[in-house]
Amino acid sequence: MNTVKTVNELRAAIAQARAQGKTIGFVPTMGNLHAGHIALVERAAQNADFVVASIFVNPLQFGPSEDLDKYPRTLRDDQQKLVDAGCHLLFHPGVEDMYPHGMDSQTRVSVSGVTEGLCGASRPGHFEGVATVVSKLLNMVQPDIAVFGQKDYQQLAVIRMLVRDLNMQVEIIGAPTVRAADGLALSSRNGFLSDQQRAAAPALYRSLQQIAEALKAGENNFAALIQTAQQAQLDAGFRPDYLEIREAYSLRPATAEDRHLVILLAAFAGTTRLIDNLVVER
């Protein structure tokens, strides 16, 4: 697996693969790779001949008080994991390669609708930063398919929307969330949890499962379900940020008539913010 830093090197390596008739699969990441990312790379390898991954901790999607500086950078380990997962090319640009004219003058991509509420409300500017960097990366790599985790459910909806609205010729594949044996969704941020917080963290997934069971059994008092689940999170030592039931495709607030639902949550353990979601068909 080659690691390249500049856009010119990236394009040259991809042009070579294209010249050999290969299809291109792409997995953008911010590094600190875990089994969830590896599943994305493996999925890309199943769907394309030549797999490109990127590692770029994108400053544009972090708020001023967020964890940009302490976001873990583990390039050597990540490279080994990517090789083992069947990745062919790693793009690892610096901020100067991604934003050569500065971040202030960077053209931004702003997606409306699905960015409203949830993480869009808690993290102002976050999805503009994500949509901008993903648009740039998709234009640089020009893959046939790109794979994103369903764990970042709202992000996946944002990316599907920008690809649709900007007429990008790429198929977006959403890959299922990978969980630890006790149910906690894998995340780079799990590494920030203390032992005590880590032991309590499965309570988040349990609260999603409890709501899902009730919804499947026909419960339509969403407010009561949410209140009970948030109390359970508080009892487990978490500070709920949001917990909502939405229509799974449009992400608008769910109604009793909706059949495709998604329950989404964000909660803090100390300063660490975790997110998770569960889709419910009924």
> C-beta of 251: minimal distance to ligand PAF in Å?
17
Stretch that binds ligand PAF, among 27-35, 177-185, 232-240, 269-277 (CB under 6 A): 27-35
Please list every residue from 146 through 175 that binds ligand PAF, using CB under 6 A. Answer: 152, 155
Compute how many residues bind ligand PAF; rule: CB under 6 A: 10
Q: Which residues of 78-102 are buried (b: 16+ CB within 10 A; e: fewer)?
A: bbebbeebebbbbbbbeeebbbeee
| Nearer to ligand PAF (CB atom), residue 155 or residue 177 | 155
37 is catalytic: yes
* CB contact at 8 A, 44 and 149: no
Based on the shown chain and the rule CB under 6 A, indicate whether residue 30 belongs to the binding site for ligand PAF.
Answer: yes
Q: Please identify, using beta-carbon distances, which residue of 187 and 233 lies nearer to ligand PAF.
A: 187
Q: Among 24, 25, 28, 163, indicate the residue that binds ligand PAF (CB under 6 A).
A: 28
Report the residue number, 71 or 268, with the smaller CB distance to ligand PAF: 71
Q: Does 208 bind ligand PAF (CB under 6 A)?
A: no
126 is in an annotated binding site: no
- Rounded distance between C-alpha atoms, residue 83 and residue 3, angstroms: 11
Site for ligand PAF in 113-152 (CB under 6 A): 130, 133-134, 152
Q: Quick one: 152 or 241, whose CB is closer to ligand PAF?
A: 152
Residues assigned a catalytic role: 37
Residues that bind ligand PAF (CB under 6 A): 28-30, 58, 61, 130, 133-134, 152, 155
